[in-house]
A and B are shown apart, each in its own frame.
Chain A
Amino acid sequence: MGETFTLYLRLLNLTLRGQMQYRASFILSLISTGLISLFEFGALLLVLIELETLAGWTIAELAVLYGLVEFSFGLMDNIFDGFDPRNFGQRVRLGTFDQMLLRPVPLITQIMGSRFELRRIGRIVIGFAVAAAGILVIPMQWTLWKVVLLPMMVIGMVCFFGGLFVFGSTVTFWTIESIEVMNILTYGGSYAMSHPVSIYPGWLRAFLTFIVPAIFLNYYPTLYLLDRPLPAGDWVAFLSPLVGIGVLWLAFRVFKIGIRYYQSTGS
């Protein structure tokens, strides 16, 4: 385990040094991803200023919901960039995945170490700032449980979104064309999660509960943070990391099946 982690860090180190060769492009995309996030939130803000509240949520409360998703998604996008179906599909198609199979170290370590997009830090910073501003404005009543829950939510969401990326990458072993379907799930999921789930129709809520259990990751724990009532008790809020890690675990299992399939067909 320790050895695998050391290898991961070594791979990351090389990946980052490779990226630093393109400094100008790095700075430009750092600024642009930050601006995109900022404008997205700005657009939401403009609507909200007119409405003042959305489904009974104040702007500050919505900022917490929105900021935490942005922050977690940005983190995940960095850590799981190797599993971004677009990158991974490319790797399978170009045959560079074969080179990973030829190295005597775990595949998941190699894939995670193969990419790390520092430029997405823009999104992480904006997400963090929006959530922090919301928390300060509300102002939140802190308890020990809330202090514990906050980082667990982030871990849960990083694992959850990461799991969706891994599912998407697995699909590319079979077909490149269905990547878009997975992307709708991943990006649509993160967008849906940045709004109060109560605004959605029943079928979508059911989908986000039972099919893609996104509702556990951000909505329920945020209800707890904001001292709002939860449907089945406060413990539901703490399912966030469990659901996230569970989805990621399942995704890695399915990924291994994908590798078996790949080895029986080639590219």
Chain B
Amino acid sequence: MIHVRNLSKHFRISTHSSGMAGTLRSLISRQYRTVKAVDNISFDINAGELVGYLGPNGAGKSTTLKMLTGLLVPTTGDISVNGHLPWKTRKRYVARIGAVFGQRTTLWWDLPVIDSLSLLQHIYRIPADTYQRNLAKFTKVLELSPFLDTPVRSLSLGQRMRADIAAALLHDPDILFLDEPTIGLDVVAKERIREFILQVNAERKTTVLLTTHDLTDVERLCDRVMIIDQGKLLFDGQLSQLRARFGGKRELVVDFAERYDSASVVGADLVSLENQRATYQFSRGETTASELIQRISSQYRIRDLEVREPDIETTIRRIYEERLLATE
């Protein structure tokens, strides 16, 4: 569905030398510095996939998304989405995609939400029955009804984002691009949007590519993640692979049935022992959780336990750090 080959986007940024002489010189001959916002990346996304696109600020996420939606023309490389070159056949291409770019609304600021939605019906030439069906469904799942008649400028951020996502999906697009769909929202609003994205992906087989800073988004939504930093694709694979390859130590938290003075066990580090709760760390590959639990339970009486996977935030931070080490 989406094929990207050797995609690069370079920006020329004029550099200003300091001082009066520098200003004068830049009037005559401007000095340019080339910034490789996206540097030779390739990937494929199949129909129906839900992919998370991660990276720190300025890593090249938005630039990639802008090229995929046809807003920007690549410096070099090929993009083919549904057989389209996004920037070449703009009108035909954008009719088949949906896009929500972070903080900017696509809705008419001074008008009730419903007016914007009904205009989009005409813009996308959505058949009346499809429009009614989708509107009814989105209104229910995203709970739009309390503010359908409210002007967009009076909506809360969460309401606005829900309205925007509904607007982007009214025409049953094949692909949905989401740039930071949950940024700035409270936990409840985030969760509602996640549920909706999952549902759309499951029911309509809509391909979803989303960028986010929120790693809970990734854990809840994405099977596959791509990580970009300084324009280069650092990782592309399943979330579980990401954990296995870069993940730190797993943790085992044990609540004992009685108080022990020491609770050390072979194959794991005892990180803390407070009251009757012990926390162990162990590495994947060296020992399994079940071996460890057996060993502990043979020595101590366990009341309850929990295995904690390394959180993705630490995992991703490690990838960025390792990359820095590799380039130095």
Whole-angstrom CA separation of A260 from B70 in the bound complex: 11
When distances are taken between beta carbons in the complex, the residues of chain B under 8 Å from A266 are 11, 63, 66, 71-72
Say whether B322 faces chain A, with CB atoms less than 8 Å apart.
no
Q: Are A99 and B119 touching (Cβ within 8 A)? A: no
Chain B CB within 8 A of A103 CB: yes
Residues on the A chain within 8 Å of B109, using CB: 18
| A36 within 8 Å of B (CB atoms) | no
Are A103 and B110 closer than 8 Å at their CB atoms?
A: no
Which residue on chain B has the smallest CB distance to residue A96? Answer: B104
CA distance A94 to B101 in the complex (A): 12
A18 engages B111 (CB within 8 Å): yes
Nearest CB of A to B69, in Å = 6
Q: Which among B53-61, B90-98, B195-203, B277-285 touches the partner chain?
A: B90-98
Contact present for B92 and A104 (CB under 8 Å): yes
Per the 8 Å Cβ criterion, residues 116-131 of A in contact with B are none
Residue of B nearest to A266 (CB): B72
Least Cβ–Cβ distance between B62 and chain A, in angstroms: 9
Interface size class, chain A:
20 to 34
Count residues on chain B whose CB falls below 8 Å from chain A CBs: 30
Per-residue 0/1 for A1-17: is the Cβ within 8 Å of any B Cβ (1 yes, 0 no)?
A: 00000110011001001
Known: A102-B99, A104-B124, A263-B87. A18 touches B94 (CB 8 A): no
Contacts of A105 in B (CB 8 A): 91, 123
Query: Do A104 and B91 touch (CB < 8 A)?
Result: yes
CB distance from B171 to the nearest CB of A (A): 9
Whether B248 sits at the interface, judged by CB under 8 Å, is: no
Cα separation A11 to B122 with both chains bound (whole Å): 10
Does A99 contact B123, Cβ atoms closer than 8 Å? no
Residues of B within 8 A of A106 (CB): 91
Of B71, B73, B91, B92, most buried by chain A (CB within 10 Å of CB) is B71
Knowing A14-B111, A18-B110, the reply to whether A102 touches B69 (Cβ < 8 A) is: yes
B108 within 8 A of A: yes
Residues 5 to 38 of chain A near chain B (Cβ within 8 Å): 6-7, 10-11, 14, 17-19, 21-22
8 Å CB contacts to A: which residues of B73-123? 73, 87, 90-92, 94-95, 97, 99, 101, 104, 106, 108-111, 115-116, 119, 122-123
A to B CB contacts below 8 Å, 9 in the list: A11-B119, A17-B110, A18-B110, A95-B104, A98-B66, A102-B70, A102-B94, A103-B123, A104-B124
A interface list, Cβ under 8 A from B: 6-7, 10-11, 14, 17-19, 21-22, 94-96, 98-99, 101-106, 260, 263-266
Q: A99-B101, A102-B71 are in contact. List 16 more A-B contacts (CB 8 A).
A: A11-B119, A14-B115, A17-B111, A18-B110, A22-B110, A95-B101, A95-B104, A98-B71, A98-B101, A101-B70, A101-B94, A103-B123, A104-B90, A264-B72, A265-B11, A266-B71
